Structure 1
């Protein structure tokens, strides 16, 4: 009996590690694909008065800061945030499904209802939010640094 439960623990650990790695790789891919649009979005949300739309913000960011420094500002914290968020999310989801199975007395995760899977997703997202929020703040500050510095230099002290 002990051998069977040890095998089950090893299988759960292996599954958790695979989910963690998959989430990490997914997080990296999301950042590299979406970072330029995210940078434009943050700049437009933070300083709507400075830009006449998305295209204007993109064009001016490229002109003033270049491709990498302009559109990929804040990439390192974004990667850290997305790797942490997705890896925790992926790893926690499997464990949260098992937890919901225990609460609902469902025999296996394959038999969970849509509400059961949604509950497991909610719980997993709750845990992943603790990794996302601090790094998201740093990323947004880096993305809007140029505009913040411009506004600071234009403010007159009375």
Structure 2
């Protein structure tokens, strides 16, 4: 019986990873253009007057392909990140269900705190990969095109940073990344799973019977819950990850210094620069994530 349980657990984990990868790939294609505009507004406040100005100048200077700068890294990395997220959150949900004494043939009903804890654990685990993935992505997103480009692509960016600054350089901005992932994914999965649990309880439907429209709607709501509670941390993260490494090129000595200087120079509104494209991205990107995951889980059985 123990061997069978182990085999079932291993197979469940594999399915969670595969489905998470499907959700991550869908997220990148749906959300990358919005993310590029968000990062440029966060890290280059003097260059753009607002969201539409950033869109217009990106089109003028880089063409439509400019919105997909740095896509290779997240396409690989975000697939892995979302796999980790769903692997951990599904494991935590099953663990809490056992603690609550929920029979194995019934869907787990978890408290909001349990759902937040499951999401927070997924976020912290995910940050090991998402930190360097986002670091490389944002450096590619904000650099100029053509001959002025410092990096030829993600591999060249990794090579240059690692050769000059080691692993610590690759993980630049990791503290705010961990903080953002912890709270952000706590709110993210709590919102989504609470809405799913509520609908299942109200309608008597199984999770697999929920409509695609509802999955997309709840995924969008989860994205809003994440970003509305974590956006200032993301601004600090992006500023640190596009900052210089040493000498005059380095503006910030750390997370608190970045926070203080941002408020001094830009006011509180500086902590919310780029939130418009971020929230515009939240709906399609996170709807795509959850529909990709749920559809893959249903197909895998």
Provide the TM-score with structure 2 as the length reference: 0.44
State the distance in 2 between where 1:40 and 1:116 align: 34
Cα RMSD (Å) of the superposition?
2.0
State the distance in 2 between where 1:124 and 1:38 align: 22
1:84 matched to which residue of 2? Answer: 80
Partner of residue 45 from structure 1, selected from 42, 47, 51 = 42
Q: Secondary structure of 2:40's match?
A: helix
| Count of matched residue pairs | 143
Q: Secondary structure of 2:144's match?
A: helix
State whether residues 100 and 119 of structure 1, in contact with CA within 8 Å, keep that contact through their aligned partners in structure 2: no
2:59 matched to which residue of 1? Answer: 62
Q: How many angstroms does 1:45 deviate by?
A: 1.2
Q: How many angstroms does 1:32 deviate by?
A: 0.7
Can you give the 5+ residue segments of structure 1 that lack an aligned partner in the other structure? 151-158
Q: Deviations over 1:14-43 (max 9, x none)?
A: 111111111111111111111111111111
State the distance in 1 between where 2:138 and 2:18 align: 26
Q: Deviations over 1:38-75 (max 9, x none)?
A: 1111111111111121111111111211111x110010
1:20 matched to which residue of 2? Answer: 17
Q: Deviations over 1:87-128 (max 9, x none)?
A: 0011111222344456xx432471533322222221122111
State the distance in 2 between where 1:111 and 1:29 align: 28
State whether residues 74 and 142 of structure 1, in contact with CA within 8 Å, keep that contact through their aligned partners in structure 2: yes
State the distance in 2 between where 1:42 and 1:111 align: 37
2:214 matched to which residue of 1? Answer: none
State the distance in 2 between where 1:37 and 1:134 align: 20
State whether residues 88 and 122 of structure 2, in contact with CA within 8 Å, keep that contact through their aligned partners in structure 1: yes
State the distance in 2 between where 1:53 and 1:111 align: 43
1:154 matched to which residue of 2? Answer: none
State the distance in 1 between where 2:4 and 2:140 align: 46
User: 2:144 matched to 1:146?
Assistant: yes
State the distance in 1 between where 2:60 and 2:116 align: 44
- 1:113-124 equivalences in 2 (<5 Å): 113-124=111-122
